[in-house]
């Protein structure tokens, strides 16, 4: 079972809980986000992905997590995102944080309290990060995004590595993948999806999905509704069974 709601502690973050369903695991797909995860007593950081992952790095009977908007968690951790790309790392390796007793009874609530403490000691959010994501998600080119946020191409690349873990071109591809998968889940035909997300043609979209997600649109949608769940950020559940808090 999977449930999620908007975080009350961190703007733009999503609080989720999940209990994996035996036999229904799926790879973690790139989404541009990073997660802070509680898994059976351990705290983990899921870094930004550039490829599909299995769930073997973090296993548990129950999960709770905070999924942070692209570019926001590295500032709270004080660690550049490029150091965490395609990794699942114990939080203790990055920050000296002791889990409070609340994790035993209310891990979701305890995660929000922990995130609030991290945010209180971090610098203010960088408005440029959100502007970059908004531009790329809207389909702007890397050059157009750099001009829109007032940076040179090299500056944008350097800032993107620290905030997102990869350069703006890769981030744009990941955000486009997210849009494409969401449209495919809604029932839109593949050719229409390719046009809607700005791919040159359906073959271009197929290559992008294969390279970033390791699957095809048809195979992806055949699994049912896929919802993010942190350590396993794309857990398939039967269509219509998702519960949102």
Give per-residue pLDDT as tens, 13-36. Answer: 999 988 776 666 667 789 999 999
Could you tell me if residue 78 is inside a domain?
yes
- For residue 127, count other CB atoms closer than 10 A to its CB: 9
What is the mean predicted confidence (pLDDT) over 41-54?
Answer: 89
- What is the rounded distance in angstroms from the CA atom of residue 57 to the CA atom of residue 46? 10
Number of domains forming the structure of the chain: 1
Q: What is the pTM of this model?
A: 0.84
Query: pLDDT of 121-159, one tens digit each?
Result: 888 888 899 999 999 999 999 999 999 999 999 999 999
Confidence check: pLDDT of 180 > 80:
yes
SS3 7: coil
Could you tell me if residue 169 is inside a domain?
no
**What does 55-93 look like in DSSP terms, one character per residue?**
STTS--S-EEEEEEPTTTHHHHHTS-GGGGTT-EEEGGG
Least confident of 7-21, 89-103, 217-231: 217-231
Confidence check: pLDDT of 227 > 80:
no
Instruction: Give the burial string for 167-193 (b: 16+ CB within 10 Å, else e).
Output: bbebbbbbbbbbebbebbbeebebeeb
Could you tell me if residue 6 is inside a domain?
yes
Degrees, nearest 5: CA angle 188-239-23: 120
Could you tell me if residue 133 is inside a domain?
no
Could you tell me if residue 161 is inside a domain?
no
- What is the rounded distance in angstroms from the CA atom of residue 183 to the CA atom of residue 189? 9
- What is the rounded distance in angstroms from the CA atom of residue 203 to the CA atom of residue 220? 16
Provide the sign of the torsion angle of the four alpha carbons 153, 159, 162, 163, taken in this order.
Answer: negative
Q: With pLDDT > 70 as the criterion, what percentage of the chain qualifies?
A: 85
Provide the sign of the torsion angle of the four alpha carbons 175, 223, 13, 60, taken in this order.
Answer: negative
Could you tell me if residue 184 is inside a domain?
no
Confidence check: pLDDT of 245 > 60:
no
DSSP one-letter code for 58: S
- What is the rounded distance in angstroms from the CA atom of residue 70 to the CA atom of residue 34? 7
Degrees, nearest 5: CA angle 137-138-142: 75
Could you tell me if residue 213 is inside a domain?
no
Mean pLDDT (the chain, rounded): 85
The pLDDT of residue 238 is 27
pLDDT category of residue 231 using cuts at 50, 70 and 90: very low
Domain limits for position 60: 2-124+226-237
Look-up: residue for tokens 């080119």? 141
Could you tell me if residue 135 is inside a domain?
no
């Amino acid at each position: 079972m999977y449930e999620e709601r908007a975080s009350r502690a961190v703007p733009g973050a999503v609080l989720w809980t999940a209990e994996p369903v035996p036999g229904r695991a799926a790879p973690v797909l790139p989404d541009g986000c990073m997660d802070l995860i509680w898994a059976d007593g351990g705290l983990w950081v899921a870094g930004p992905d550039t490829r599909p992952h299995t769930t073997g790095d973090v296993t548990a009977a129950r999960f709770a997590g905070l999924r942070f908007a692209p570019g926001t968690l590295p500032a709270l951790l004080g660690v550049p995102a490029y150091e965490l790309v395609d990794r699942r790392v114990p939080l203790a390796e990055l920050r000296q944080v002791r889990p409070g007793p609340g994790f035993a009874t209310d891990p979701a609530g305890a995660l929000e309290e922990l995130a609030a403490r991290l945010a209180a000691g971090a610098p203010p959010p960088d408005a440029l990060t959100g502007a970059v994501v908004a531009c790329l998600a809207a389909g702007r080119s890397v050059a157009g995004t750099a001009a829109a946020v007032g940076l040179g191409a090299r500056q944008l690349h350097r800032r993107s590595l620290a905030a997102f873990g990869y350069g703006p071109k890769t981030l744009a591809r990941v955000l486009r993948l997210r849009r494409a998968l969401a449209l495919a889940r809604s029932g839109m035909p593949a050719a229409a999806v390719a046009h809607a997300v700005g791919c040159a043609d359906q073959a271009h979209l197929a290559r992008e999905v294969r390279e970033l997600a390791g699957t095809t649109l048809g195979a992806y949608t055949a699994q049912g509704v896929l919802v993010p769940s942190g350590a396993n950020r794309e857990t398939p559940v039967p269509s219509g069974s998702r519960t949102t808090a």
